[in-house]
Amino acid sequence: MLADMKKTEIVLKGTENKSISLDYILPSKIKGPIVLYAHGFNGFKDWGGMDLVAAEFAKKGMPFIKFNFSHNGTTPELPTEFTDLEAYGTNTISKELNDFFIVYNWVTKEFTKQIEMTLPVVLIGHSKGGSESIVFTARKRSHISKLITWAAPARADIPWYNWPTDKIFEWKRNGFTEIENKRTKQKLKLGLELLEDFENHKINYDVLSSASKVSVPWLICHGDADESVDLENAFKLHEANLKSELLIIKKTGHTFDRAHPWQQKTLPLATKKLIRESIKFALAK
């Protein structure tokens, strides 16, 4: 991180009074919009060198804010570890969208007071955070100025959309299902609330329908070797909203060549290109 930039960490009261860990980096001179970043499934705000990513945006004059969803399984004390397994097991799309509104309201009401500036907000969402960013941006209560999605699925029923029927029945019968975190090898329980919430709000959580309603400038970014969210998802999102811009980065996967923990002082080339194009889009008039 650049020496003249300070990272500030705070905790907000999120959905069901669970904590939202949040941090921001302020540039030495604020020039551009505020950038708000949402992480993906089994992710967190500091995954894979995100401080380095934030610093690149701040270097161009943009305050960069990132946060952990209240029920993603982390805590303010351990923001990069899945230790609150009860919260993780009761997470839903509704809770994460509510967290979006809580954070967005803090940004536009409290944060802007702190910096004594009213600025537009550019929303960046990675993976599942990207699909939820689409749904959030399409809603009337949102006043996002620009949307940028990184490797976003064209659907919200993540991670169970391609599970066999008998596994879904078993989930309903047991009241929970287990998945393995590929990075930590933890066995994590997903409660039935997640499935029921989606089934009860399918129309509202239709990502492609929401995509067609996004009226602000939108940059869709995807790697052509994405092993988790197939490139076809990017094409579907673009087809749903032909006013969007499509950026395909060659020879890179779902995390644009980053991993966690990221211990290097520089970012990989694919991520550098992702950042460069995202910054150009965010600053464009």
| pLDDT value of residue 141 | 65
| Strand 187-191 relative to strand 146-150, pairing | unpaired
Q: What is the C-alpha separation between 15 and 212, in angstroms, rounded?
A: 28
* Superfamily name and number for 7-156+202-283: Alpha/Beta hydrolase fold, catalytic domain (3.40.50.1820)
Distances (CA, A) of 186 to 42, 154, 189, 244: 11, 27, 10, 38
Q: What is the C-alpha separation between 32 and 115, in angstroms, rounded?
A: 13
- Enter the DSSP assignment of 16: G
Amino acid letter for position 191? G
pLDDT tens-digit profile of 209-222?
999 999 999 999 99
Q: What is the C-alpha separation between 132 and 229, in angstroms, rounded?
A: 15
Amino acid letter for position 34? I
Q: Is the peptide bond before 261 cis (omega within 30 degrees of 0)?
A: yes
- State pTM to two decimals: 0.97
- Enter the DSSP assignment of 109: I
Q: What is the C-alpha separation between 87 and 171, in angstroms, rounded?
A: 18
| pLDDT value of residue 5 | 75
| pLDDT value of residue 4 | 62
| Residue numbers in the chain where pLDDT is lower than 50 | none
Q: List the domain boundaries for the chain.
A: 7-156+202-283
| pLDDT value of residue 203 | 96
Q: For tokens 């959905």, what's the residue? A: 15
